[in-house]
Amino acid sequence: MKWGLIGASTIAKEWMIDAIRSIGDEVSAVVSASESRAEDFAKHNDIKKFGTSVEELLLDPEIQAVYISTQNHLHKEQSLKAIRAGKHVLCEKPLALNVADAAGMVSAAEKAGVVFATNHHLRNAESHKALRRAVQGGVIGKPVAARVFHAVSLPPHLQGWRVADSENGGGVILDITVHDTDTLRFILNDDPVEVTAFTQVGELSVNGVADSVMGVIRFKSGLLAQFHDSFTAKYSETGIEIIGTEGTLVARNVMTQQPKGEVVLINSEGSRKLILEHVNLYETGVRDFSEAVAGRSQPAASGLDGLWSLATGIAVVEAARTCKATPVVIR
């Protein structure tokens, strides 16, 4: 399959171009808002066609799918254009800046009969798949609580719009909390109902944008999930824990782009490591997307999954703003 890239982004350069090529697909064009950035990006990444017009890219009959990785406020319009042009769309999270827009994108794709997926890479990790298998297999009894540790140190080359531009989707919540939500939904097979949260404006923040957040998500089953997301934690370790009536699963170094980390089961028999055979998270996502386009499966994370993670992120933003428990609403 031939892909067009909408966005000359870091994530495309660092992970997604290789992922697309790894499954035998082709990256045939890239669009940037700047001609020189487009040309430079195309040259450095060996992409034949480049330009500044999304419309032109979408007119290319060879291109079947687009990967959208522009800044967050652009995802909605670019996705809708691509969907209307009959292209399959793999869109970065957050899908949009509000729930109504994301819901509109999901229903537009349904009507057009194209695959619309969200690039929530963490559910492609062997660690999270192992957690899901264990939880869904009843290994820890009834899951009652979860803890997500997703405090990282944002690398200098990413300290731009993410920490400065809340109007256009910057801030830690739409960047990281949405990933936590998707990962929890995937492992627990459960949906968020309401949230509470407090944010911090720390050393990386510009214009008061939140660069750390702590909060609690209540799920339909009654499970409470505590999360800590940050751009400013230089010496922290990531992880996720699922606490059940018959055991606890402790995963360390798993909230990451890298295929790594470990999962330990603790129960009445003691503790043991689960066997993991790590694979590239982005390659797995692209392969699933390609299979979905071929009609053989579903994408790893659908548009609806992206809608849920965004709705939860929006509720967390609101809860932090109002200091009140806030419902998660997807319509």
Options 28, 69, 205, 280; binder of ligand NDP; rule CB under 6 A: 69
Report how many helices (DSSP H) and strands (DSSP E) the chain contains, helices first: 11, 15
* CB nearer ligand NDP, residue 255 or residue 292: 255
Phi, psi of 202 (to 5 degrees): -105, -155
The residues facing 250 across adjacent strands are 241, 264
Output the CA torsion sign for 236, 189, 136, 292.
Answer: negative
Give the footprint of ligand NDP on residues 255-274 (CB under 6 A).
Answer: 257
Q: Nearest distance from residue 229's CB to ligand NDP, in Å?
A: 13
Give the footprint of ligand NDP on residues 114-133 (CB under 6 A).
Answer: 119, 121
288 lines the binding site for ligand NDP (CB under 6 A): no
- Over the window 152 to 171, marking each residue x when it contacts ligand NDP by CB under 6 A and - when it does not, the resulting string is ------x-x-----------
- Binding span for ligand NDP by CB under 6 A among 7-15, 216-224, 232-240, 262-270: 7-15
How far is it, in rounded angstroms, from Cα 71 to Cα 81?
16
Residues that bind ligand NDP (rule: CB under 6 A) add up to a total of 21
37 lines the binding site for ligand NDP (CB under 6 A): yes
49 lines the binding site for ligand NDP (CB under 6 A): no
Q: Taking CA 40 as the corner, what is the angle to CA 34 and CA 43, rounded to the nearest 5 degrees? A: 140
Phi, psi of 201 (to 5 degrees): -110, 100
- Binding span for ligand NDP by CB under 6 A among 31-39, 99-107, 126-134, 320-328: 31-39
H-type helices in 113-228, by residue range? 126-136, 172, 178-188
How far is it, in rounded angstroms, from Cα 130 to Cα 98?
32
Q: Interface residues with ligand NDP (CB under 6 A)?
A: 7-11, 32-34, 37, 69-72, 92-93, 119, 121, 158, 160, 175, 257
